[in-house]
Structure 1
Amino acid sequence: MHHTSILVGLTGGIAAGKSTVARELTALGARIVDGDAAARDVVDPRTPGGAALVRSIAELLDTDVLAADGTLDRAVVSARVFSDADLLRQYNALLRPAILSEVGARIERARRTPGVVVHEIPLLSRTTAPLPWTYDLIVTVEAAEDLRLRRLQDGRGYAPAEAERRIRAQGEEVDRIAIADVVVRTDGTLEETRSATASLWERLTADRPPR
């Protein structure tokens, strides 16, 4: 299908500020496809596909990952998979097909009208397996590792070792930058991040066709 919209892949390491940049882009007029939201929705046990996927995850990780209402206890799941690299790979292999299908459908709907569509994706780098869609521009949001560790500990309450595990599990900054057209750094003030995002928006909405 021919699209008159621009599709942007927005990624970045955990606690680097990706969600902040996504919010700024939304305020400027972008339509966001939230990869994390899609990942949550595909394990909704109120849907047939979600119920089957939740059962498979419980078989892999044990039934104590289920909350009383039958949904996944995300804190328990995260603690288990982020402490075991092999288990994390198996968990991702279960989720990936369902997430790709859901995200693809959301991107297709969002691209039916002109404008800027931003797919907020947590894991996108040169090591990522091929995706069933192509971005017109890839943006990664980055910040110094010590700052990200501090944000995870102070803002989200992670213990130091857990914060470091989360950062390691999401890959290396150099691998994200290797495929990025634009790097937005958030080491500075919020106003500096907003200014960088505004510059990005100008690039996205310039009177020229997508590359």
Structure 2
Amino acid sequence: MTLRLGLTGGIASGKSTVSRIFAELGAIIIDSDVLAREVVAPGTEGLAEVVAAFGPEILTEDGEMDRAKVGAIVFADPDKRKVLEQVIHPRVFLRALEIDQAAGEHDVVINDIPLLVETNQADRFDAVVVVDVPTELQVERMVRDRGMTPDEASARIAAQASREQRLAVATYVIENTGTLEELRERVRQVWDQLPR
């Protein structure tokens, strides 16, 4: 039986790194952020729909969707955000389903979903893995690695589910406050505990 896990964590928790380590261990990763880019790549029906809805000025010179420009539009206007979501979300869902259905009976499929808690998806999975870090460390990483101010970082964190809400749905918790090697070891421990 294919084992299906949800993987989540707050911004700057190290979730992407954990996802990569799981992939190295043999998991099939379904990353909704990657798929969201795929479904609006140049030449896709998805991109054509976004251009029809928002105009050709949202394209870069290379014919790609200018994510920053579209982001500025949709975060300022909830109705426009819904329009974008109606283009992207069904396509991401279908692509994720294709990947999932191609998995073999002994595979581990990990759905990397940043907003898993916010979108009430925990029940869809056999288990949920939460990458956990203290809020202060999230702020520190966002200031250091993403050039945000402490206030900007705190606002992003406040817009997501709380640490407590994520931990409440966790089957496995991977604490990420140490070195990359320590993180790798924690991921391996969870991998070894998975029922297969």
- Provide TM-score, normalisation by structure 2: 0.84
- Note if 1:154 corresponds to 2:149: no
**In the aligned structure 2, how far is the partner of 1:18 from the partner of 1:192?**
14
Q: Shift of residue 100 of structure 1?
A: 1.5
**Residue 52 of structure 1 aligns with which residue?**
49
- What amino acid sits opposite 2:165 in the alignment? D
Which of 8, 24, 45 is matched with 1:11 structurally?
Answer: 8
Which of 90, 93, 109 is matched with 1:97 structurally?
Answer: 90
Q: 1:172 to 1:76 in 2, by over 3 A?
A: farther
Q: 1:164 to 1:79 in 2, by over 3 A?
A: farther
**Residue 35 of structure 1 aligns with which residue?**
32
- What amino acid sits opposite 2:109 in the alignment? V
Q: Shift of residue 45 of structure 1?
A: 3.5
Contact 2:49–2:87 (CA under 8 A) maintained in structure 1: no
Q: Shift of residue 140 of structure 1?
A: 1.1
Give CA deviations for 1:131-160 in whole Å, capped at 9, x if unaligned: 9x9311111112111211221221122343
**Residue 26 of structure 1 aligns with which residue?**
23
Contact 1:45–1:54 (CA under 8 A) maintained in structure 2: no
Give CA deviations for 1:46-98 in whole Å, capped at 9, x if unaligned: 11233213433x26xxx65432233222233334545x483685244543222
**Residue 140 of structure 1 aligns with which residue?**
130
What SS is found at the alignment partner of 2:177? Answer: coil
What SS is found at the alignment partner of 1:9? Answer: strand
Q: Identity over aligned residues, as a percent?
A: 38
Q: 1:67 to 1:159 in 2, by over 3 A?
A: farther
Which of 168, 174, 186 is matched with 2:164 structurally?
Answer: 174
Contact 1:41–1:50 (CA under 8 A) maintained in structure 2: no
**Residue 122 of structure 1 aligns with which residue?**
114
Q: 1:88 to 1:129 in 2, by over 3 A?
A: farther
Contact 2:8–2:114 (CA under 8 A) maintained in structure 1: yes
Q: 1:48 to 1:65 in 2, by over 3 A?
A: closer
**Residue 86 of structure 1 aligns with which residue?**
78
- What amino acid sits opposite 1:73 in the alignment? D
- Note if 1:198 corresponds to 2:188: yes
**In the aligned structure 1, how far is the partner of 2:183 from the partner of 2:72?**
31
Q: Shift of residue 130 of structure 1?
A: 5.2
Gaps of 5+ in 2: none
Q: Which moved more, 1:187-196 or 1:138-147?
A: 187-196
Gaps of 5+ in 1: none
**In the aligned structure 1, how far is the partner of 2:51 from the partner of 2:92?**
13
Contact 1:31–1:116 (CA under 8 A) maintained in structure 2: yes
